Amino acid sequence: MRERGRMTTGRLAGMIENEGVPLWELDQAFWARERGVDYPLTHYDLETWEESVREGDPAARAVSDTGDLLRLIEDRYPGHRLDLRAEGGRARISLLITETRDGKLPIGVAGEYQGEAPPSRLGRAIALATVRADGLARGLDLRLKAVAGLAKRAPPYADWPVEEISTGRWGAVHHGLRLLCATANSPEGAARHATMNHKGDYGLLLCRERYETLAPQAGLPDQPARTLAQDDSGGPEF
């Protein structure tokens, strides 16, 4: 008996890649990930999935029915590009997502499949590319939520002090908000990089992730400094 647990992108992708997993299981697993429920499905969730099939929910048969999968792509991702080339029993598939129902993404994310895929199994390959692309889109959304609203509090990049982050590497940094622009081998280069940084939440996301990646080895503070950044209530940022 398989252990019941949350259906993740990686777990679902692995199941789709496994030729031994039947389509009905993949349909249920795909639906479980969409609904955020555990898999294998509980008795209640199984009945709900069956009802979703009867109601024509494209997520309920997205792997076994390519038409449903394409309907899901069309509805879920207003901005997308699906590239498919199949020849001699092999296929190269790419699904690029630039916009979801929640809005445009700051950068496009693409899920891909390349390998054996006879015509009868193209739907499975497209589903795999879709799951991978959707996983990247969800991951980007979660990462952006970590810096949501930060743009209103962060000063312009050009106003950040340039410091030597590590030996011979300089960067514009805001310790209070744990943000670091791309580094350079001189203070002047670091200042130029700051002016070219991505704007908006995505740019701040890159700065936050860069800061937290370099913090352990560069001796940067791993907690926000109260003296440098406080919200209106007097508490520390983040």
Tell me whether residue 183 is in a domain. Answer: yes
Does 101 share its domain with 14? Answer: yes
**Residue whose C-alpha is closest to residue 154's, from 198, 98, 220:** 198
Residues 121-132 pLDDT 10s: 999 999 999 999
130 and 156 housed in the same domain: no
101 and 183, same domain (yes or no): no
Distances (CA, A) of 209 to 94, 177, 180: 27, 11, 8
Residues 111 and 60 in one domain: yes
Full residue range of the structural domain in which residue 173 is found: 150-218
For the chain, how many helices (H) and strands (E)?
Answer: 7, 8
Share of the chain above pLDDT 70, in %: 91
Residue 228 has pLDDT above 60, yes or no: no
| Per-residue model confidence as pLDDT tens digits over 12-60 | 999 999 999 999 999 999 999 999 999 999 999 999 999 999 999 999 9
Angle at 230 between CA 225 and CA 236, to 5 degrees: 60
Q: Do 108 and 36 sit in the same domain of this protein?
A: yes
228 domain residue, yes or no: no
**Do 127 and 199 share a structural domain?**
no
Are 41 and 51 in contact, with CB atoms under 8 Å apart?
A: no
Q: Which residue has the tokens 């895929």?
A: 117
pTM for the model: 0.86
User: CA angle, 120 as apex, 115 and 126 as ends, to 5°?
Assistant: 55
- Asked if 42 and 114 sit in the same domain, the reply is yes
